[in-house]
């Protein structure tokens, strides 16, 4: 679980995980990146300052260390949870190690600003892999450009909203007036 040791134990967490994998040679290793949730003991430790969260990059370095130090095992690494930053980093530690390390290294080769934007977009479920970030950012720019194109768009929207509520109010007033007329007619016929 990348990040489970916090900043203080990040290296030890990665190395000990790799040690256990090498000793046990499990069929698979499911990656679940540590997340601190309210109501847990770890959250309480965090709030008291006894546990320091790892950044996304630090958690990914831990995962890279685990993959790199896993030797001679036929373990399949599975990364099938949304909380994992790079879900594509999965496969056989024997046969696909270099591909998985390449994906992590490719992420770290991105400019820091782009990595941060990817992290934010990933957490908002807008992208699923680093290659998606360029397209996502382009779409955001296009959306901003077109939303600002029609300078009258906001004015038109406000005008249509005002017209809608005016008609709604008019409709309500007409109904009340008709209802009052009907009530008056009923009262008039009952009196005579």
Residue 27: predicted pLDDT: 96
The alpha-carbon radius of gyration of the chain (Å, integer) is 30
* The 3-state secondary structure of 146-158, one letter per residue: HHCCCCCHHHHHH
DSSP letter string, 135-190: HHHHHHHHHHHHHTT-TTHHHHHHHHHHHHHHHHHHHHHHHHHHHHHHHHHHHHHH
Residue 189: predicted pLDDT: 62
User: In whole angstroms, what is the distance from residue 55 CA to residue 176 CA?
Assistant: 61
Sign of the C-alpha dihedral computed for residues 30, 33, 38 and 41 taken in this order = positive
Residue 169: predicted pLDDT: 59
Sign of the C-alpha dihedral computed for residues 150, 155, 161 and 166 taken in this order = negative
Residue 177: predicted pLDDT: 67
Token pair in block for residue 79: 């990364």
Residue 129: predicted pLDDT: 86
Residue 108: predicted pLDDT: 97
Q: Which residues of the chain have pLDDT under 70?
A: 146-154, 156-157, 161-162, 164-180, 183-184, 186, 188-192
């Amino acid at each position: 679980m990348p990040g489970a040791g916090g900043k203080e134990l990040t290296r030890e967490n990665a190395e000990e995980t790799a040690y256990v994998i090498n000793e046990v040679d499990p069929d698979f290793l499911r990656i679940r990146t540590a997340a601190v949730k309210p109501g847990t003991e770890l959250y309480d430790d965090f709030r008291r300052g006894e546990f320091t969260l790892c950044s996304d990059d630090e958690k990914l370095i831990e995962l890279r260390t685990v993959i790199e130090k896993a030797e001679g095992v036929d373990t399949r690494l599975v990364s099938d949870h949304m909380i994992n930053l790079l879900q594509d980093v999965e496969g056989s530690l024997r046969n696909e190690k270099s591909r998985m390390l390449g994906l992590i290294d490719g992420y770290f080769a991105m400019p820091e600003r782009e990595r941060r934007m990817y992290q934010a977009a990933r957490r908002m479920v807008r992208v699923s892999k680093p290659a998606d970030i360029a397209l996502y950012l382009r779409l955001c720019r296009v959306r901003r450009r077109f939303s600002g194109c029609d300078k009258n768009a906001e004015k038109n929207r406000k005008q249509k909203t005002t017209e809608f509520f005016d008609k709604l109010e008019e409709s309500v007033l007409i109904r009340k007036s008709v209802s009052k007329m009907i009530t008056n007619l009923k009262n008039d016929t009952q009196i005579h």
